[in-house]
C-alpha cells in the first residue's frame, strides 16, 4: 500500500534505551505505510552471535570480521519486526539480559558501526523508512527529512524495560534502572557516533504520554513535511 502522501520521506528517531522509540516508530511506520527499521536489533543480533561464538567486546578483530560477514535481515512479522541472523530467526533471544548487558560494548567497535551504518543506509535508499537508533539523525541518515530525539525519565524507561522481561525478570527494577543509566553512559561517551541529539532534531519527551499520542504528533509532522516538499517540487 502507498503512503497517504505520494512524496515519501525518511524519519529518524533517536534516543536512549526505553524511551519508547521502537513502539512509536512502529506506529508511525504503520500510519504512513512506511518500513520500520529497528537498528538496535541489528546490534543485538551481532552481540548474540558474538557471545555464542565465545567472543568478548575486546576481541575487536574477530568481532569486526563476524559483523562484516554476518547476514542480518529485518522482516515485518505478525508481532512487529522479525530479526534474522544468517537466516535464523533470533528475535526472541536478542532481548535477553545477557545481550542487554553486553550490546553497548560491542556497539562501540568501529568496524561494527560502519558495517551496520552501511546496511542501514542501503535499507533507507528508497525513502519511506522510519529508522530508530542512537546515531540515525546524526550519522546514518543526516539528510533525513524529519528527525526526532525521543526521551523519557530514567525511571519510566526502566519500568518499560522491566515489563518487557516477562514473569521472571531475573533482575529488580532498581538494578534495571542502574543498567540503563550505565548503558546510556556508554552510548553517550563512545568515540564513534555517540548518542547525541542532532541540532535539527525535534525533542520529544514521552514520560506521561502514550505511544499513540507521541506517534500521532510525529505522523502529523511527517505529513506536513512531505506536503511541503511535494509542493516545492511542483
Ligand atoms: O535500542 P536498543 O536498546 O535495542 O539498542 C541496543 C544497543 O545498541 C544500545 O545500547 C546501543 C546500541 N545501538 C547503537 O549503538 N546505535 C544504534 N543506531 C542502535 C543501537
pLDDT digits 0-9 by tens, 113-157: 999 999 999 999 999 999 999 999 999 999 999 999 999 998 999
Mean pLDDT of all residues in 103-119: 97
How do residues 66-101 score in pLDDT, each as one tens digit?
999 999 999 987 777 899 999 999 998 998 989 989
pLDDT at 4: 65
Mean pLDDT of all residues in 21-30: 95
5-16 CB burial, b ≥16 within 10 A, e <16: bebbbbbbbbbb
Query: Which of 20, 103, 124, 135 to probe ligand 1 with, by most ligand atoms within 8 A of CB?
Result: 103
Decide if pLDDT at 1 tops 60.
no
pLDDT at 33: 95
Residue 133 CB–ligand 1 contact under 6 Å = yes
pLDDT at 6: 79
pLDDT at 167: 83
Decide if pLDDT at 25 tops 70.
yes
Decide if pLDDT at 215 tops 80.
yes
pLDDT at 169: 81
Residue 66 CB–ligand 1 contact under 6 Å = no
Say how far residue 200 (Cα) sits from the centre of its chain. 18
Nearest CA to ligand 1 atom 8: 40
CA atoms within 13 A on the CB side of 32: 33
pLDDT at 148: 98
How do residues 148-185 score in pLDDT, each as one tens digit?
999 999 899 999 888 887 888 888 999 999 988 998 89
Give the model's confidence band at 3: pLDDT under 50 very low, under 70 low, under 90 confident, else very high.
low
143-173 CB burial, b ≥16 within 10 A, e <16: ebbbbbbbbbebebbbbbbbeeeeeeeebee
Task: Enumerate domains of the chain plus CATH numbers.
Answer: 11-229 (3.40.50.300)
For the record, the C-alpha cell of 121 comes out as 543506509
pLDDT at 105: 96
Give the Å distance between the CA of 183 and the centre of ligand 1.
Answer: 9
Give the Å distance between the CA of 41 and the centre of ligand 1.
Answer: 7
* Length of the chain in terms of residues written: 234
Nearest to 116 by CA among 56, 192, 2: 192
Give the Å distance between the CA of 100 and the centre of ligand 1.
Answer: 10
Which atom of ligand 1 is closest in space to residue 107's alpha carbon?
Answer: 15
pLDDT at 166: 81
Give the Å distance between the CA of 134 and the centre of ligand 1.
Answer: 6
Residue 44 CB–ligand 1 contact under 6 Å = yes
Give the Å distance between the CA of 123 and the centre of ligand 1.
Answer: 17
Q: Output phi, psi for 89, to 5 deg.
A: -75, 110
How do residues 36-71 score in pLDDT, each as one tens digit?
999 999 999 999 999 999 999 999 999 999 999 999
Give the Å distance between the CA of 1 and the centre of ligand 1.
Answer: 30
Query: Which of 43, 95, 179 to probe ligand 1 with, by most ligand atoms within 8 A of CB?
Result: 43
CA atoms within 13 A on the CB side of 85: 22
Amino acid at each position: 500500500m502507498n503512503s497517504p502522501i505520494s512524496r515519501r520521506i525518511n524519519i529518524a528517531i533517536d534516543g536512549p534505551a526505553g524511551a519508547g522509540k521502537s513502539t512509536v516508530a512502529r506506529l508511525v511506520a504503520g500510519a504512513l505505510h512506511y518500513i520500520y527499521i529497528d537498528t538496535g536489533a541489528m546490534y543485538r543480533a551481532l552481540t548474540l552471535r558474538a557471545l555464542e561464538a565465545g567472543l568478548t567486546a575486546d576481541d575487536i578483530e574477530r568481532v569486526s570480521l563476524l559483523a562484516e560477514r554476518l547476514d542480518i535481515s529485518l522482516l515485518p512479522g505478525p508481532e512487529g519486526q522479525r530479526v534474522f541472523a544468517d537466516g535464523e530467526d533470533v528475535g526472541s533471544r536478542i532481548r535477553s539480559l545477557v545481550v542487554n548487558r553486553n550490546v553497548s560494548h560491542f556497539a562501540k567497535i568501529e568496524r561494527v558501526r560502519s558495517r551496520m551504518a552501511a546496511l542501514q543506509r542501503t535499507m533507507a535508499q528508497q525513502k519511506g523508512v522510519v529508522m530508530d537508533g542512537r546515531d540515525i539523525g546524526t550519522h546514518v541518515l543526516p539528510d533525513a527529512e524529519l528527525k526526532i530525539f525521543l526521551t523519557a525519565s530514567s525511571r519510566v524507561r526502566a519500568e518499560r524495560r522491566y515489563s518487557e522481561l516477562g514473569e521472571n525478570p531475573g533482575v529488580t527494577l532498581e538494578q534495571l534502572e542502574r543498567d540503563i543509566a550505565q548503558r546510556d553512559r556508554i552510548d553517550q561517551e563512545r568515540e564513534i557516533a555517540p548518542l547525541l541529539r542532532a541540532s535539527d532534531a525535534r525533542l520529544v519527551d514521552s514520560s506521561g504520554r502514550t505511544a499513540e499520542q507521541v506517534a500521532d504528533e510525529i505522523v502529523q509532522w511527517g505529513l506536513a513535511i512531505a506536503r511541503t516538499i511535494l509542493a516545492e517540487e511542483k
